[in-house]
Every structure is written in structure tokens, then in C-alpha cells.
Structure 1
Amino acid sequence: MRPRTHAWLAAATALLLLLPPARQALESSMTLHMLVLAPLLMLCGALIAGALPAGSRARLDAWNAYGIAGLFATAVVLALIMIPRLLDLAVTDWRIDAAKALALVACGGALRLSWRRAGALVQGFFLGNLLPMTAAAGRLYQDSPLRLCDAYLLDDQLRLGQLLVARAVASGIAWFAQLVRALVRREAAGLPQPDSPQPLA
């Protein structure tokens, strides 16, 4: 399918995820809320960004040198999403939930537009801040004897904490392996070393 078709389908999916049936199902669990719903919304944003006209991309690139602005905005949004109070408010207030969803869609678009522009150094700095923060949040969820979110049970909080740590570790290993593979291929081909690994999206 063409990028524009992907974008329309992604926009429709994002709207469906905001409707009460999908929202209630995916926000019924803390784990589903953070590790399924949030990535789905980000994926929708990435697909929408892939269909932007060349002129719009050029205007965005003008203030997104080396992908720094987009990756910084992504890191801020993801940090906010991990705050337990925000998760509680998103479950109880549809306006905050809609704002959260729009922020995640924008976050996915920013990541799509920024990752290719960012070199290995900028990507490493981004992941070097985001992944330890994610792991720290996961440890907090695991170690807290109290429910940090009133909307979710303690066992769900513990499970999410374990999965956050695992995802942070796996993401770091995957990025580093991708970087090494790209460098080895370039060296074997006798080409200059790349500025970055292959883009994620």
C-alpha cells in the first residue's frame, strides 16, 4: 500500500483506540496501557508522518537538525507517560486521555522523522537517557510496596515493572547490535563508516 493509504488507516486506527470499547479494554490493565496502547498510538503517528508531503517535511527538518528536537520531544512525552498519576488521570478523565493519545501520536511521528537524521552519537545519547529512565521506572514499580496507580492492582504494577526493565535492556542490545552490524557491513564493503545505523522506521 502507498504511504498515504497507510496514513489514513493509521489515523482511523488512532480514532478507534480513543473510542470507549477499545479504550476500556486496553486501559483495563496497567501493562496493556503502557506496553500495548502507547506503542500502537506511536506506530499510528509514525505511519502518518511517513505520508507527509515533501514541503512539510522540509519545514519540519529546518528546526529538527540532526533529529535533536524530535528525539528530545519524544523523550519528554515518554517520561511523562511513565508518571503514575498521569495514568490514573488518563483512565478517569477522557480529556486527559485524548491529550495523552495525541501526544503519543505526535511522539511516534517525531521519532519517524528524527531517527534517520540523527547520527549514531545522537541516537546513543537519546537511548542512553531514555532506556535507563525506563529501567529505573520499572524498578520503582517492582520495589514499591504500595500501589502507585489507584486504577491498577499491585500485581499488575509488578508485572509492568518487570517488563519495562526487560524492554529497556532488549532495546539497548538491539540498537547496539544494529550499529555493529552496520559498521561491519560498511567495513567489509570498503565504504566510509556510516553516521548512524539503519533507521528504525
Structure 2
Amino acid sequence: MSRKSWHFVLLILLIPALPPLRDVVEASMSSLMLCLLPCLAAAGWAFAELYVISRRSLMDAMRPYGLALCTLCTFSYGVWMVPIAIDLSRMSMATGIARDASVCVAGFSMALAIRISPWPVLLFFIGNLVWMGVTVGLIFVEEPVRLCANYLLGDQHQAGAGIVAYSAGAGLWLLGWVFRKAGLADLSSDI
């Protein structure tokens, strides 16, 4: 993609976080968890593609920090799966901004980590993200009471189902990616 295209993508991904639309998106747990947060993570990824990944010397300098980038991404993802954190980010503007910034940083970190980290490290961390998403999503679906004070039970169930679907998709992508990276795709055709 050209730089102009990446700028456009970045702008589009940030639209749900802007004040007029932000209140509408945050009003529903499913739109928060399945629209706003993925858009912000993708915006962080787009920022990395636009300003960092094309610079080979900067990427080489980041190579020793692959494990730290994976850890940062996992931490940020995990924090915003906790129901009290979701509630606090809805009730406090400062916490909401911290949530948005940390999710963007997580997307940025993952974009860099995928380029510079060895595949076994990424398999471990992304596999844990997938497992965490499936687990939390199933808890949101199966729990008979509201976990977040700001959202209705039906909305919680819908968000949980979406998180499970996103996580399953990420897990399938991860398996395909690992097969290609590990050179196992050639071996599977021989079986």
C-alpha cells in the first residue's frame, strides 16, 4: 500500500474514537469490544506500517525488543478484558483515553513484533491471546449475571460470542502463519 493509502486507513480507523461517534459506540458492550477496540488496535498497526516498518534500520534496532513488544501487547489486551476495567473506561474520560491509547500501542507493538520476533515466541504469545479471548468470551456468554454494570446481559452475551468468533479467526490465522513460517506447509503436502 502507498503512504497515502495508509494515511487514509489510519484516519478511517480512528473515526469511532472521535467524540460524536464515541458515545454511540461505547453505549453498547458489543460495539465497544467488537468495533472500537479492534479499530484502535488496527490504527496502531497502521501507524506502525506507515512510520516504522518501512525503515529497515529502525526495525533492526527494535529486534532485541521483540519479547517486550509481545508482553506489552498481551498485557494491554488482558487489561481490557477485565469487566471492572471496561466499566471504569466507560465512566471516566481519563480511563477511556488510557484504554484507547493502550489499545493503539498494543496494535503498534504487535505489528512490530510480528516482523522481528522468532515464530516460536509469536506462537506462544498470540496463542495465549487467542486462548484468553476464547476464555473471556465464553465467560461473557455463559455467565447468567451481568459482569459489567454499564451494559445489559444480552449485550454481554453478544459481545462474548463476538470475542469468541474473533479469537477463533485469529487462531486459524495463527496456525496458517506458523505453518508457513516453520516451513511445515511443504511437509503437509507430502502426507
Q: TM-score, normalised by structure 1?
A: 0.80
Any unmatched runs of 5+ in structure 2? none
CA contact (8 A) 1:138 1:164 kept: yes
Which residue in the other structure is 1:160 paired with? 159
Change (3 A) 1:30 1:122: same
CA contact (8 A) 1:14 1:44 kept: yes
Q: What is the aligned-residue RMSD (CA, Å)?
A: 2.4
SS of the residue 2:117 aligns to: coil
Q: How far, CA to CA, are the matches of 2:88 and 2:97 in structure 1?
A: 11
Q: How far, CA to CA, are the matches of 2:158 and 2:107 in structure 1?
A: 25
1:99 and 2:107 aligned: no
CA contact (8 A) 2:41 2:108 kept: yes
Q: How far, CA to CA, are the matches of 1:57 and 1:127 in structure 2?
A: 20
Q: How far, CA to CA, are the matches of 2:150 and 2:81 in structure 1?
A: 14
CA contact (8 A) 1:17 1:23 kept: yes
By how many angstroms is 1:29 displaced?
A: 1.2
Q: How far, CA to CA, are the matches of 2:12 and 2:88 in structure 1?
A: 23
Higher helix share: 2
Q: TM-score, normalised by structure 2?
A: 0.83
Change (3 A) 1:7 1:48: farther
1:79 and 2:78 aligned: yes
Which residue in the other structure is 2:2 paired with? 2
Q: How far, CA to CA, are the matches of 2:36 and 2:85 in structure 1?
A: 15
CA contact (8 A) 1:10 1:45 kept: no
Identity value in percent: 26
Q: How far, CA to CA, are the matches of 1:181 and 1:57 in structure 2?
A: 22
Q: How far, CA to CA, are the matches of 1:7 and 1:76 in structure 2?
A: 27
Change (3 A) 1:50 1:154: same
Q: How far, CA to CA, are the matches of 2:12 and 2:156 in structure 1?
A: 27
Change (3 A) 1:186 1:6: same
Amino acid at match of 2:84: R
How many correspondences in the alignment?
184
Q: How far, CA to CA, are the matches of 2:12 and 2:44 in structure 1?
A: 10
By how many angstroms is 1:169 displaced?
A: 2.3
CA contact (8 A) 1:7 1:49 kept: no
By how many angstroms is 1:158 displaced?
A: 0.9
More displaced 10-residue stretch of structure 1: 114-123 or 46-55 = 46-55
Q: How far, CA to CA, are the matches of 1:56 and 1:31 in structure 2?
A: 37
Q: How far, CA to CA, are the matches of 1:144 and 1:72 in structure 2?
A: 29
More displaced 10-residue stretch of structure 1: 30-39 or 176-185 = 176-185
Amino acid at match of 1:2: S
